[in-house]
Structure 1
């Protein structure tokens, strides 16, 4: 029997600081490259069936199935293939040229049961650093990993799990509500990575409030299913009224080692402002800050922030 959506979903955000080992070039779209490279390392280190997933008798226990993908006993009806709902990689560094000794930073966000596989992810990124990232095989060394409080979880080759502090999405919502409801004026959602989402069976070229709220709710629903709860997305009576927006297409090019082909992913970036924010919509949109929304979230898509400080956006209207 389906239950109401629950926000009591465990998560942890970790910041990786990595040092470049030689002068090199790197992809601008590092999130997609890191995700693809991580998947390749997971397969090299853990696959026992020569990557023949369709014939694998160990699928329920597969490490790759529990880390690169997110194994779910049951799924929402709209999920038709393997999903990577248990983790996100975030990297906003678009530089393509690096000198030896310089650093780049990326975040790994883990949800639900993926949290227990941290050392598997860590090993994959360490191996990727030795193998190299992107076309030029840029080699790097993970110097440290910190939690959101700035405490060291990893320093060089030492792991301190006492600083591996797991929170809940409900806690994040509570804290962000206090910040946002303490402000005034219009509400703003600013997309810092492309949003790829359908509305009325067409990919959106501008923002629609109903699509944004429902997209955020579906993302939480998927995490509930991942945690073993068959949650239903509620029908909401009201959605926030849009008073201004800007939207522009942005493309991300990536190489798929699995399909051995180059791919182009597309979505819209920009900002949208609302006159009001119905109480029943706010929690879902706050959760979406953590989970991202829409398609291709495992490649970094659908990341946004909510603010009440919209004056700097008025030129976009």
Structure 2
């Protein structure tokens, strides 16, 4: 398998959803409604499995498909489409996979399993339920998948706390603006202003060089991004909801494919 399956799984889902033009247009072609050159946030995100080079016969390949805001209303249609996907091939050896079950991403209740669809398991989760405030003065931020943030056209390689907070507040604001919901704009602005007061205690980041081939554009694309970990110290309590939201929603470019996934650990010192 390639080292990062986000774009591969995106292709599998895209080919299947393309058979349903209205559904495909809303999920996969949303950017074209925003005007030329405008960076439009997508109403979905794929969270690929952790990197695994080889799969043996009988092993499971598990991934998440997250629908945001109004797109959550299309969950039943998406599940019904994917449930009809009998098999697909991925990887250099075109290994054959077949869908086994579709589970709720947080509650793990079966939505579709062994041909049975359970509509009652399609429960919408509110980000506020997992983005709670914690008393904290120290946190660790682990970049699980390549974090791609560009500034002035160049990839940002020196991360700091304000960059993380600006990225998540912007992402939430764009999702709310386009797909419904609410965000406290004053709290978001205040968090960005205060983020410079948080001190970086340690960092161990490195540039992960990665390329992927785009069948649509018929060219190789640079997907390099930052990996590693950072720790921060300071009055972090007001920031913990934003940090937990970043863990769920990802930050940076190509988050649709699973880039920018963070693990967050906070504690009081």
- TM (norm. structure 1) is 0.73
Asked if the contact 1:189/1:305 (under 8 Å) is kept, the reply is yes
Q: After TM superposition, give the deviation of residue 252 of structure 1 in Å.
A: 3.2
The count of aligned residue pairs is: 262
Taking a change above 3 Å as real, the CA distance of residues 246 and 238 of structure 1, as seen in their structure-2 partners, is: same
Q: After TM superposition, give the deviation of residue 242 of structure 1 in Å.
A: 1.2
- Which runs of no fewer than 5 residues in structure 2 stay unpaired? none
Give distance in 2, aligned partners of 1:262 and 1:203.
Answer: 17
1:293 matched to which residue of 2? 251
Partner residue of 2:60 out of 89, 93, 103: 103
Counterparts of 1:134-283 in structure 2 under 5 Å?
134-147=91-104, 148-174=106-132, 177=133, 180-181=134-135, 186-199=138-151, 202-228=154-180, 234-235=189-190, 236-239=192-195, 240-283=198-241
Give distance in 2, aligned partners of 1:134 and 1:71.
Answer: 28
Asked if the contact 1:90/1:108 (under 8 Å) is kept, the reply is yes
- Which whole-Å deviations, capped at 9, do the CAs of 1:191-240 have from their partners, x for residues lacking one? 10111113466421121111110000011011111224797552543112
Give distance in 2, aligned partners of 1:266 and 1:137.
Answer: 25
Give distance in 2, aligned partners of 1:188 and 1:33.
Answer: 30
Q: After TM superposition, give the deviation of residue 282 of structure 1 in Å.
A: 2.9
Counterparts of 1:6-85 in structure 2 under 5 Å?
26-43=1-18, 45-47=19-21, 62-70=22-30, 80-84=38-42
- TM (norm. structure 2) is 0.84
- Which runs of no fewer than 5 residues in structure 1 stay unpaired? 1-25, 48-61, 311-317
Partner residue of 1:116 out of 68, 73, 81: 73
Partner SS, residue 268 of structure 1: strand
1:54 matched to which residue of 2? none
- Which whole-Å deviations, capped at 9, do the CAs of 1:106-128 have from their partners, x for residues lacking one? 11222112212224433554566
Q: Which moved more, 1:280-289 or 1:225-234?
A: 225-234
- Which whole-Å deviations, capped at 9, do the CAs of 1:252-282 have from their partners, x for residues lacking one? 3322221122323011011111111444433
1:87 matched to which residue of 2? 44
Give distance in 2, aligned partners of 1:306 and 1:67.
Answer: 28
CA RMSD of aligned residues (A): 3.0
Asked if the contact 2:147/2:261 (under 8 Å) is kept, the reply is yes
Partner SS, residue 145 of structure 2: strand
Asked if the contact 2:75/2:122 (under 8 Å) is kept, the reply is no
Taking a change above 3 Å as real, the CA distance of residues 142 and 161 of structure 1, as seen in their structure-2 partners, is: same
Q: Which moved more, 1:147-156 or 1:225-234?
A: 225-234
